[in-house]
Chain A
Amino acid sequence: MTDVEMNRLRWRCRRGRLENELVLERFLDAYGAQLEGERLAALKALLDYNDDDLWSLVSGRRECGDPALGEVVQLLRRC
Chain B
Amino acid sequence: MVNYGGDEVSALVIDIGTSSVRAGYAGDDAPKAVIPTTYGFHRAAPDADSAMPDAADPTRSGTGKFAKMYMGQYGPSVWREGMEVANPLTDGLVHDFEPVAALMRHAVVDVMRCNPTEHPILVTEPAWNTPANRERMAEIMFEEFQVPAFYIANTGVLNAFAAGKGSALVIDVGQTIASVTPIVDGFVLRKGLVYSSLPQLIHAHARHTLLNPTPQRRGGIDLYPHQLITNKMPVELGAPPRYTLREDRVKGTTESWRMWYEAREVDEWTQSVAGVLEQGWNDQAAASRPPRQYEFPTGYNAWFTSERYSVGEQFFWHSPQLMASNAGLPKTIPALISESLRACDPELRQVLVGNVVLTGGGSLFAGFGDRLSSELARSFPHVKIHSPGNPVERRYGGWLGGSVLASLGTFHQLWISKEEWAEHGKAIVGQRCK
Are these two chains actual partners, yes or no? no
